[in-house]
A and B are shown apart, each in its own frame.
Chain A
Amino acid sequence: DAGVIQSPRHEVTEMGQEVTLRCKPISGHNSLFWYRQTMMRGLELLIYFNNNVPIDDSGMPEDRFSAKMPNASFSTLKIQPSEPRDSAVYFCASSLQTDTQYFGPGTRLTVL
Chain B
Amino acid sequence: AQSVTQLGSHVSVSEGALVLLRCNYSSSVPPYLFWYVQYPNQGLQLLLKYTSAATLVKGINGFEAEFKKSETSFHLTKPSAHMSDAAEYFCAVSESGGSNYKLTFGKGTLLTVNP
B106 at the interface (CB under 8 A from A): yes
Tell whether A42 pairs with B105 under 8 Å between CB atoms, given A98-B94, A105-B43. Answer: yes
In A24-80, the 8 Å CB interface with B consists of 31, 33, 42-43, 45, 48, 50, 55-56
> A-facing mask of B85-115, CB < 8 A → 1, else 0?
0000010001000011111111110000000
In the complex, which of the residues B43, B90, B102, B105 contacts A4, with contact meaning CB atoms closer than 8 Å? B43
Asked if A91 contacts B43 (CB within 8 A), the reply is yes
A1 to chain B, nearest CB (A): 14
When distances are taken between beta carbons in the complex, the residues of chain A under 8 Å from B32 are 98
Tell whether A48 pairs with B101 under 8 Å between CB atoms, given A100-B49, A103-B43, A103-B44. Answer: yes
Give the CA-CA distance A104 to B108 in the complex, in Å: 18
Asked if B101 contacts A97 (CB within 8 A), the reply is yes
> Size of chain B's interface in residues, with CB distance under 8 A?
22
> Size of chain A's interface in residues, with CB distance under 8 A?
22
In the complex, which of the residues B42, B49, B102, B107 contacts A45, with contact meaning CB atoms closer than 8 Å? B102
A101 at the interface (CB under 8 A from B): yes
Q: How many A-B contacts at CB < 8 Å in the complex?
A: 49
Give the CA-CA distance A91 to B42 in the complex, in Å: 10
Asked if A31 contacts B101 (CB within 8 A), the reply is yes
Tell whether A43 pairs with B105 under 8 Å between CB atoms, given A91-B43, A103-B45. Answer: yes
Asked if A100 contacts B46 (CB within 8 A), the reply is yes
18 contacts across the A-B interface (CB closer than 8 A): A31-B101, A42-B107, A42-B108, A45-B102, A45-B103, A45-B104, A48-B102, A50-B101, A55-B99, A98-B94, A98-B99, A98-B100, A100-B34, A100-B49, A101-B103, A104-B43, A106-B42, A106-B43
The 10 closest A-B pairs by CB, nearest first: A103-B43, A43-B105, A103-B44, A42-B107, A105-B43, A100-B46, A31-B101, A104-B43, A98-B101, A106-B43
